[in-house]
Amino acid sequence: MSPIPGSGLAKGLAVTLRTMTRRAHTAQYPDKQPELPPRSRGVIGLFEENCTVCMLCARECPDWCIYIDSHKETVPPAAPGGRERSRNVLDRFAIDFSLCMYCGICIEVCPFDALFWSPEFEYAETDIRDLTHERDKLREWMWTVPAPPALDPAAEDPKELGAARKTADKIAAAEAEAAAAAEATGTATGTDTGTGTAGDTGTARDRSTDPGTGTDAAPGTGTGSGTGPGDGPRTGGGA
């Protein structure tokens, strides 16, 4: 069945009439900022402290819009007798957003979490050459990166978080055992010291008051003198 002539126009006018009766929801930008979703791909922020100059992001970028310069420095050994080590030091990290197609490959391949998406989008320039932003600007955008969304309450904890909690529990248990052992050792030492002092004092007191010790002679070994009735002075030895 062939369509009725003018049916398409009638449908279009019906949509227009329905829309005219509704209130418009126009956001007056820039007076009112838009509410962007948390994972909006606005601009790329750089967390410089995590960058090891591995060059993976620059090599994997399909547009070749990431420019990295670095140099090597010698690090002294951490302990005496150790060997010196060399490390890469970042000199330049720039992204040409006039070439970037916001694919996010550089963020995905970064093994050290140095690149993040930021919802910031107000970085238009009048000159295309000014769209190449250096690491200072990229670092400023890092502070506009939103916090990651919360996990589902019913979801399992990440393996890294579980391992970290187990390690923390082991350290806390070891510290508690060490503190209990130190407290027990201190209590035992105090008890032994008090007992020895009391015993020594009692022994000294006994020696000073015992009539059978000291400077008196033992029975049967002493000497004596006496006078009997009708006899003269006499001296005798003990039995």
Q: Domain residues of the chain, as ranges?
A: 28-142, 157-191
CB atoms near residue 97 (< 10 Å): 19
Q: What is the CATH number of domain 28-142?
A: 3.30.70.3270
* Predicted confidence (pLDDT) per residue in 160-214, tens digit: 677 778 888 999 999 999 999 888 887 777 665 555 444 444 444 444 444 444 4
- What is the spatial distance between Cα 49 and Cα 61, in angstroms, rounded to a whole number? 21
- What is the spatial distance between Cα 143 and Cα 149, in angstroms, rounded to a whole number? 16
Query: What pLDDT is attached to residue 228?
Result: 46
Which helix (H) or strand (E) segment holds residue 45: the answer is: strand 43-46
> By percentage, how much of the chain surpasses pLDDT 90?
39
Average pLDDT, the chain: 80
| Residue 169: HSE in the Cβ half-sphere, 13 Å Cα cutoff | 6
Query: What pLDDT is attached to residue 141?
Result: 92
- What is the spatial distance between Cα 67 and Cα 59, in angstroms, rounded to a whole number? 10
* Predicted confidence (pLDDT) per residue in 128-171, tens digit: 999 999 999 999 999 989 887 777 777 777 776 777 788 889 99
* Predicted confidence (pLDDT) per residue in 51-82, tens digit: 999 999 999 999 999 999 999 999 888 888 88
- What six digits make up the tokens of 51? 């960058």
CB atoms near residue 145 (< 10 Å): 19
Query: What pLDDT is attached to residue 2?
Result: 74
Rounded to two decimals, the pTM is 0.54
